[in-house]
């Protein structure tokens, strides 16, 4: 597979450290508010990357953090903690805010068919890990205490800026929005690893540390969580382009200073979704969320379809007109697929021919728009209906657009239904009625209607 690596500024052949196993870390949400659909574009691209790797035969170990402390309103260590801001806005505790918006984020990702990563860990659950790293950084002379905080000394590294294209003087104080002068720093590019003092001293969550009661900086969270779960050698680290500096630059600095060797080989970044006025915002203009799109009658997967038609490395500008067009094309595509009924006698040679082509496109720096064009080509081709259906079904493992309406196209696997009924019974036993209802609804969407009788649960398949 070829992928664009921000670190080398090249599209490169991907080679993991261990054959067939990929260790992947993706920066998670700051759960102080709903995710906007721009944030979700980044998670869609990461989902495509993970599923592409799976489709090509790799086993992916993926970790994501949930930022519930330490991300300040400016990415450069100044301003108020975003979580605290959210708590004040809603007159709730930081913990309540974190739990609520984590759940909302989960729902959004589910609506977009984004797979929940294998390991998801809260920043607040890994404090010991950060303390361990910071202690060693101080011992090794990379970090220092000043004005109550612990800072990383960026001048100790020759290649601190290796991930960014920016020149050093563009990065320092005054040149970037929201960067305030901090007199406690030795160099203005230094960043905070541990806060005990901030202008906003009303931080709700604090922990004891060798340097006093305080809280971790945002960047150390991702280094700590990644190394805890994935070890010293990481294959891929992802995020949106805004994460390149300072967040990922600082992650590299502190992780490599701590480890004493290179940490991660591939840094992969998704471009932004902008609105027509420019940068997408949670506070100004229309707050574009998945719930808003649903309220307006859009299928969230039409938004996923819209994203997949543009390279993840190109800026995408959101407009309702663009979404309407994507929605129409998406519904039309699904309807075309719905006409296909036959599921027998797949033409293996044709299947392999098109499937190889698909693999080439997705392994060409995740060219999902070519993959979708290929889907249209297959539908127009002389393949029989069974072959077309089998190809759509296989490719939807990556595209995740619910392209196959199982009711019309193929009988839903009886074993799968029985398993779901068992899981639902178990959920009911545990009094987890929400989960039980969710399973009922999911099956209903596939045309399977459950009936609870005295003898147990039975089902019927709806025919259209
Ligand atoms: P946050 O919750 O602010 O930490 O951001 C979550 C993710 O969304 C990060 O990976 C950001 O890089 C990404 N992100 C922020 N704004 C946008 C945007 N407008 N378009 C795409 N991704 C974004
Ligand atoms: Zn991160």
CA distance 72 to 82: 5
Joined together, the tokens standing for residue 95 give: 């913990």
Task: Give the DSSP H or E segment for 150.
Answer: strand 149-152
pLDDT of residue 202: 67
Tens of pLDDT along the chain (464 residues) come to 999 999 999 999 999 999 999 999 999 999 999 999 999 999 999 999 999 999 999 999 999 999 998 888 877 777 788 888 898 899 999 899 999 999 999 999 999 999 999 999 999 999 999 999 999 999 999 999 999 899 999 999 999 999 997 655 455 544 445 556 788 899 999 999 999 977 665 677 899 999 999 999 999 999 999 999 999 999 999 999 999 999 999 999 999 999 999 999 999 999 999 998 899 988 888 999 999 999 999 999 999 999 999 999 999 999 999 999 999 999 999 999 999 987 789 999 999 999 999 999 999 999 999 999 999 999 999 999 999 999 999 999 999 999 987 554 555 567 678 878 988 998 898 888 888 888 898 788 777 899 998 889 998 877 54
**Beta-ladder partners of 121:** 65
| Shortest-distance Cα residue to atom 16 of ligand 1 | 39
Question: Do 236 and 244 meet the contact criterion of CB atoms below 8 Å apart?
Answer: no
- Neighbouring C-alpha atoms within 13 Å toward the C-beta of 398: 27
> Strands 119-122 and 59-66: what pairing?
parallel
Ligand 1 atom, smallest distance to 239 CA: 10
Domain ranges of the chain: 2-270, 275-399, 414-461
pLDDT of residue 423: 85
Q: Interior CA angle at 241 toward 235 and 247, to 5°?
A: 70
How much distance in Å is there from the Cα of 267 to the middle of ligand 2? 12
How much distance in Å is there from the Cα of 53 to the middle of ligand 2? 21
Q: How many CB atoms are closer than 10 A to CB 360?
A: 15
**Residue partners of 455: CB distance under 8 A and separation at least 6:** none
Q: Which option is the CATH number for 275-399: 1.20.120, 2.60.40, 3.30.420, 1.10.287?
A: 1.20.120
2-270: CATH topology? Rossmann fold (3.40.50)
Query: Ligand 1 pocket: which of 41, 42, 306 to mutate (most atoms <8 Å of CB)?
Result: 42
Task: Say yes or no: do domains 2-270 and 275-399 share a fold.
Answer: no
Question: Do 28 and 282 meet the contact criterion of CB atoms below 8 Å apart?
Answer: no
CA–CA distances in Å: residue 448 to residues 69, 408, 443, 461, 464: 43, 12, 5, 5, 12
Ligand 1 atom, smallest distance to 269 CA: 12
Identify the nearest ligand to the CA of 278 by its number: 1
CA distance 237 to 235: 7
Ligand 1 atom, smallest distance to 240 CA: 12
Task: Give the DSSP H or E segment for 11.
Answer: strand 10-13
Beta strands in 163-244 (DSSP E): 191-195, 215-216, 234-240
pLDDT of residue 70: 81
From the list 225, 56, 29, the residue with the least C-alpha distance to 116 is 29
CA distance 190 to 77: 10
How much distance in Å is there from the Cα of 233 to the middle of ligand 2? 16
From the list 133, 305, 157, 322, the residue with the least C-alpha distance to 210 is 133
Question: Do 78 and 178 meet the contact criterion of CB atoms below 8 Å apart?
Answer: yes
Task: Give the DSSP H or E segment for 101.
Answer: helix 94-111
pLDDT of residue 175: 42
Residues in the chain: 464
Question: Do 16 and 58 meet the contact criterion of CB atoms below 8 Å apart?
Answer: yes
**Residue partners of 61: CB distance under 8 A and separation at least 6:** 21, 22, 23, 24, 118, 119, 229, 230
Identify the nearest ligand to the CA of 243 by its number: 1
CA dihedral 177, 178, 183, 184 (to 10 degrees): -120
CA distance 93 to 161: 37
Q: Which residues, judged by CB distance below 6 Å to any ligand atom, belong to the binding site of ligand 1?
A: 27, 29-30, 38-39, 41-42, 67, 239-240, 242-243, 272-273, 280
pLDDT of residue 342: 77
Find tokens 């590294």 and name the residue.
157
How much distance in Å is there from the Cα of 156 to the middle of ligand 2? 22
DSSP annotation of 248: I
CA distance 138 to 135: 5
CA distance 55 to 157: 39
> Strands 273-274 and 316-317: what pairing?
parallel
Question: Do 301 and 112 meet the contact criterion of CB atoms below 8 Å apart?
Answer: yes
Task: Give the DSSP H or E segment for 151.
Answer: strand 149-152
């Amino acid at each position: 597979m070829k992928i664009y690596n921000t670190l080398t500024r090249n599209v490169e052949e991907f080679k993991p450290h261990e054959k067939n196993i990929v260790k992947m870390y993706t920066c998670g949400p700051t759960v102080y508010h709903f995710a906007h659909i721009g944030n979700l574009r980044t998670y869609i691209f990461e989902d495509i990357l993970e599923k592409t790797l799976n489709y090509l035969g790799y086993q992916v170990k993926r970790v994501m953090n949930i930022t519930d402390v330490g991300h300040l309103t400016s990415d450069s260590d100044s301003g108020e903690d975003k979580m605290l801001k959210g708590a004040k806005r809603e007159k709730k505790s930081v913990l309540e805010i974190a739990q609520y918006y984590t759940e909302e984020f989960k729902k959004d990702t589910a609506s977009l068919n984004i797979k929940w990563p294998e390991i998801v860990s809260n920043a607040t659950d890994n404090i010991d890990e950060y303390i361990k790293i910071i202690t060693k950084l101080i011992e090794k002379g990379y970090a220092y205490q000043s004005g109550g905080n612990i800072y990383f000394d960026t001048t100790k590294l020759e290649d601190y800026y290796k991930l960014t294209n920016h020149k050093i003087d563009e990065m320092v104080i005054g040149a970037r929005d929201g960067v305030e002068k901090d007199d406690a720093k030795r160099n203005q590019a230094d960043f905070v690893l541990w806060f005990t003092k901030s202008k906003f001293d009303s931080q709700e969550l604090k922990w004891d540390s060798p340097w006093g009661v305080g809280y971790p900086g945002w960047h150390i969270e991702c280094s700590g969580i990644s190394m805890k779960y994935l070890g010293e050698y990481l294959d891929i680290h992802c995020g949106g382009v805004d994460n390149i500096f300072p967040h990922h630059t600082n992650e590299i600095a502190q992780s490599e200073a701590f480890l004493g060797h290179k940490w991660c080989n591939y840094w992969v970044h998704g471009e932004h979704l902008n609105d027509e006025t420019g940068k997408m915002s949670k506070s100004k203009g229309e707050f574009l969320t998945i719930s808003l799109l649903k309220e307006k009658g859009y299928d969230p997967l039409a938004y996923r379809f819209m994203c997949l038609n543009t390279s993840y490395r190109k800026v995408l500008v959101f407009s309702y007109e663009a979404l309407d067009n994507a929605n129409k094309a998406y519904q039309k595509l699904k309807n075309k697929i719905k006409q296909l009924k036959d599921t027998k006698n797949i033409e293996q040679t044709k299947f392999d021919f098109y499937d190889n082509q698909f693999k080439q496109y997705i392994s060409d720096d995740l060219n999902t728009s070519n993959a979708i064009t290929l889907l249209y080509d297959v539908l127009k081709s002389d393949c029989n209906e069974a072959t077309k259906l089998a190809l759509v079904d296989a490719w939807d493992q990556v595209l995740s657009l619910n392209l196959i309406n199982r009711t019309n196209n193929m009988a839903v696997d009886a074993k799968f239904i029985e398993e779901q009924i068992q899981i639902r019974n178990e959920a009911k036993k545990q009094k987890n009625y929400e989960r039980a209802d969710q399973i009922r609804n999911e099956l209903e969407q596939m045309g399977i209607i459950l009936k609870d009788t005295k003898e147990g649960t039975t089902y019927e398949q709806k025919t259209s």
